[in-house]
C-alpha cells in the first residue's frame, strides 16, 4: 500500500514567496494547499487537512509578521519544525502593454509594500497603494481580468515574486524592485505538536511568554531567566494581549533546544514566575552555526551539579 502524498498549506495563491520557502523543504510529491491568509493555513494544520503549513514569521525590513505571531498564541497549539530564509526582490508587473507611466495604483501584500515604498516614491510618486492578501493574489486577479473587467480593477500593476509574474503571464514593467536589495524574510514550517526531536547542537527555540501584570522589574526578571543560564536571545518582540491597554506578550527566539538543560531550566523558571507560557518549537537554525554554550551552562555541568546535590542529600558530601 502506498502512503498518500502529504498536504502542506501556505499563503497562496501559487507564486508567493511562501511557496518559494515551502519548495525548499517540502517533499517532491507534496500536495499544495494554497490559502487566502495565514490564519487559514494554520487552521488547516489544526483541523488535520494539512500536515504542515509554511508561513512568514519575520522580515529583515518590517520585523515580525503579526498575522503569524498572533495566531500562534490563539487556538490549539502548533509548533515550528523548521525555518527557511528567502531573499526577497520584487518585480513591478502588469498586463501586456502597461507602461510605467500608466500605473496610477499598485497592489501587493503590506510587507512587500513596506519594502518597496521608497522605490515607488522615486519612480511613481503619484501612485497609490491597494492592499493585497499576498503578493500573488493581485497578480492573479490582474491576469484574470478580461478587458471588460479591467476597468473594474482599481490597480494597473502589482509588486510580486518574479515567479508569480511568470506563472500568471504578466509583463515585467520593472525588475529588481526593493529599497533594501539584501532583504530576507524568514518563513517557518509549522506542525501539530508531537514528541520533541533530538538537538542538533545548532538549534533555535521559539516561545511566547506573558509577564506578571503591573510588577516593577517583571521584564528584567523574565530576561534573567535566560541570562543566568547562558541562553542567548536572537529575537524578542512585544505583542499586545488585546484585552486592555498596557498588557503585552513577548514572542522570543533563543539559541538552543528544549532538550538542553540550560534551556529547560529557563523554561522552568518562566513557568514558575509568568502567568502564560507557550513552547513554540525547537528546530535546527537555518545558518547551522553551532550554539556557543557559556562555561558552566552545558548539559554536563548540570548533570555534575545535580549529582553533587544527590550526594549531599545522601550524606556523601560534606
Q: Which is nearer to ligand PPY, 53 or 254 (CB)?
A: 53
Of 63 and 75, which has the nearer Cβ to ligand PPY? 63
Which residues in 144-163 contact ligand PPY (CB under 6 A)?
Answer: 161
Distance of alpha carbon 83 from alpha carbon 280, whole angstroms: 12
Residue 121 CB, nearest approach to ligand PPY (Å): 18
Q: With beta carbons less than 8 A apart as the criterion, state whether 33 and 44 touch.
A: yes
**CA nearest to 50, candidates 192, 186, 194, 197:** 192
Q: CA distances (Å), 138 to each of 89, 96, 142, 166, 168, in order?
A: 17, 15, 6, 14, 10
Q: How far is the CB of 62 from ligand PPY (least distance, A)?
A: 8
Range 125-144, binding ligand PPY (CB under 6 A): 134-136
In this complex, which beta carbon is closest to ligand PPY, that of residue 59 or of residue 156?
Answer: 59
CB of 140 to ligand PPY, least distance (A): 12
| Residue 37 or 301 having the CB closest to ligand PPY | 37
Residues 9-38 as x/- pattern, contact with ligand PPY by CB under 6 A: --x----xxx--------------------
Whole-number Å distance between alpha carbons of 206 and 188:
11
Specify the residue, 71 or 225, whose C-beta has the smaller distance to ligand PPY: 71
Residues 169-188 that bind ligand PPY (CB under 6 A): 185
Q: How far is the CB of 23 from ligand PPY (least distance, A)?
A: 12
Q: Which of 53, 57, 112, 170 binds ligand PPY (CB under 6 A)?
A: 112
CA distances from 31 to 27, 49, 269, 302 (A): 9, 11, 41, 44
Least separation in angstroms between residue 45's CB and ligand PPY is: 17
CA distance 206 to 217: 23
Shortest distance, CB of residue 93 to ligand PPY, whole angstroms?
A: 13
88 in contact with ligand PPY (CB under 6 A): yes
Q: Which residues pair with 187 in a beta bridge?
A: 56, 84
Residues in a beta bridge with 158: 93, 107
Phi/psi at 76 (5° precision): -60, 140
Q: Which three cell numbers stand for residue 268?
A: 522552568
User: In which region does residue 99 sit, left (phi positive, over 0), alpha (psi from -120 to 50) or beta (all else)?
Assistant: beta
Q: Decide if residue 56 touches ligand PPY (CB under 6 A).
A: yes
Q: Does 71 bind ligand PPY (CB under 6 A)?
A: no
- Residues that bind ligand PPY in the complex, under the rule CB under 6 A: 11, 16-18, 56, 59, 88, 109, 111-112, 134-136, 161, 185
Amino acid at each position: 500500500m502506498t502512503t498518500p502524498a502529504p498536504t502542506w498549506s501556505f499563503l497562496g495563491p501559487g507564486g508567493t514567496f511562501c511557496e518559494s520557502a515551502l519548495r525548499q523543504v517540502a517533499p517532491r510529491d507534496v500536495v499544495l494547499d494554497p490559502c487566502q491568509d495565514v490564519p487559514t493555513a494554520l487552521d488547516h494544520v489544526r483541523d488535520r487537512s494539512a500536515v504542515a503549513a509554511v508561513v512568514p514569521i519575520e522580515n529583515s525590513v518590517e520585523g515580525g509578521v503579526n498575522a503569524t505571531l498572533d495566531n500562534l498564541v490563539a487556538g490549539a497549539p502548533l509548533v515550528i519544525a523548521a525555518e527557511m530564509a528567502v531573499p526577497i526582490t520584487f518585480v513591478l508587473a502588469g498586463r501586456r502593454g502597461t507602461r510605467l507611466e500608466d500605473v496610477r495604483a499598485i497592489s501587493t501584500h503590506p510587507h512587500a509594500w513596506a519594502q518597496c515604498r521608497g522605490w515607488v516614491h522615486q519612480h511613481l510618486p503619484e501612485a497609490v497603494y491597494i492592499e493585497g492578501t499576498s503578493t500573488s493574489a493581485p497578480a492573479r486577479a490582474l491576469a484574470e481580468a478580461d478587458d471588460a473587467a479591467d476597468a473594474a480593477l482599481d490597480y494597473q500593476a502589482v509588486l510580486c515574486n518574479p515567479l508569480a509574474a511568470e506563472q500568471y503571464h504578466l509583463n515585467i514593467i520593472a525588475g529588481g524592485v526593493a529599497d533594501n536589495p539584501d532583504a530576507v524574510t524568514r518563513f517557518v514550517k509549522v506542525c501539530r505538536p508531537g514528541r520533541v526531536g533530538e538537538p542538533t547542537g545548532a538549534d533555535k527555540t521559539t516561545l511566547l511568554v506573558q509577564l506578571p501584570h503591573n510588577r516593577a522589574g517583571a521584564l528584567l526578571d523574565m530576561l534573567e531567566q535566560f541570562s543566568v543560564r547562558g541562553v542567548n536571545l536572537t529575537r524578542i518582540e512585544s505583542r499586545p494581549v488585546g484585552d486592555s491597554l498596557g498588557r503585552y506578550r513577548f514572542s522570543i527566539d533563543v539559541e538552543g533546544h528544549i532538550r538542553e538543560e540550560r534551556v529547560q531550566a529557563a523554561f522552568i523558571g518562566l513557568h514558575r514566575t509568568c502567568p502564560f507560557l507557550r513552547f513554540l518549537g525547537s528546530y535546527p537554525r537555518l545558518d547551522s552555526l553551532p550554539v556557543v554554550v557559556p562555561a558552566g551552562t552545558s548539559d554536563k555541568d548540570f548533570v555534575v551539579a545535580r549529582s553533587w546535590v544527590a550526594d549531599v542529600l545522601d550524606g556523601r558530601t560534606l
